[in-house]
Amino acid sequence: MDPSGMIDPEIRDLLSARKGKEAYSDASDASALRMSLNENMLVDRSFSSTMLIEAARAVDPRAYPRPKGALALKAIAEKYDLWEDQIAVGNGSDELLELIMKVFVGRGEALTVEPTFEMYSFYIGLMRGKASPVYLRDDFSLDADAVLSRVGDETKAIIICSPNNPTGRQFAKDEVLKIVEDADRLVVVDEAYADFAPYSLVDEAVKYQNLLVLRTFSKAYGLAGLRIGYCVGDHELIEWIRAAQSPFSVNAIAQEQARRVLSNKEIYDIFVRKVVEERGYLMAELEMINGVQPFHSDANFILFRIIDAKKNSSDVARALRDKGIEIRDRGGLPMLENCLRVTVSTRENNQKFVRALREIVEGD
Ligand SMILES: Cc1ncc(COP(=O)(O)O)c(C=O)c1O
């Protein structure tokens, strides 16, 4: 029997496009300098590892973890002055995104504000729902009226990423809140990168009954490898998400480490400030390269466009790979022709990247 005949036809196309291809390729050279996944290499490795060893010692690997991230959840509630029932903790914010699509969107429609993080439309499709794109303005700002005009009977949710991946901008707070107030629909604001930006909507999330704000420990706190994130909102919304969650998806070490990280938040704030400083350095360097146009960023990455007609973004990504540097070619996304996204890293790595890019772009 042909196994492909066993696949639900409703998701066959969606999965075929990804089958056999890792979206986040693991095949790349392990020795390459990875500036493609928005990890945070400015978190001090030995500080984090020492804490991780203590976290591992505190864990009995024979026992299941606290259900639904209960240990981390308590620490998040204390740190941010929230009630525990206003928070759901997940195996990365990715798990929460998938649960949100499952619980609130299902076979309905969700609006995504494009170009944006591709996992939104993927999870919506996986739930047999319909992802409908609404586009940003040419300067990558959010047009609340454009979004509101697209809300229809089938629309179950509006997904907004702010600061937006991959454009980098944090949207104006009043534009986002206008959507929350006028859409009469669930609004999900993914704030994976808000620690690097001027503001967060976490305080607003508990004031509205239709706003969910997603946060992660992967970026500012450098815990991408442990998989832990959370979602803040009205307790009723949160209860439904938690009802759909499998009990032990958040492992015990991730919970312990998240708790420790929060109790050392002042130190992590220093790491975040370093990222912001390095972002300024990288931006200034990119502005000085002929043929490169960088865009303003409130995140830990910078989007830039190649404006030299002789090379396109995939040529540049390939040439960088040949020099041992991985960045993300975003040229295939709408509005982002010839654009690439680079993660802010240490000064040494940023310099290495800038040198290589300059050679490639200005070289001939
Ligand atoms: C916008 C956005 N949301 C969510 C995630 C996933 O984060 P996590 O590691 O918490 O699953 C990413 C990761 O790159 C992201 O860019």
Supply the CATH classification number for the domain 3-42+267-362.
3.90.1150.10
Domain residue ranges of the chain, discontinuous segments joined by +: 3-42+267-362, 45-264
Type and span of the H or E element at 123: helix 119-126
Atom of ligand 1 nearest to the CA of 37: 14
pLDDT in tens, 324-353: 999 999 999 999 999 999 999 999 999 999
CATH architecture of the domain with residue range 45-264? 3-Layer(aba) Sandwich (3.40)
Closest C-alpha to ligand 1, atom 7: 93
Domains 3-42+267-362 and 45-264 share a fold: no
DSSP secondary structure letter of residue 302: E
Asked whether 299 and 193 are in contact (CB, 8 A), the reply is: yes
Mean pLDDT along residues 4-9: 87
Query: Ligand 1 centroid vs 4 CA: distance in angstroms?
Result: 30
Q: What is the mean pLDDT of the chain?
A: 95
Read off the pTM: 0.96
Q: Which atom of ligand 1 is nearest to the CA of 218?
A: 9
**Do 162 and 189 touch, CB atoms closer than 8 A?**
yes
By CB atoms closer than 10 A (0-12, 13-18, 19+), residue 255 is buried
Yes or no: say if 147 and 111 are a contact pair by the CB < 8 Å rule: yes
In tens, the pLDDT along 158-216 reads: 999 999 999 999 999 999 999 999 999 999 999 999 999 999 999 999 999 999 999 99
pLDDT of residue 184: 96
Ligand 1 centroid from CA 10, angstroms: 26
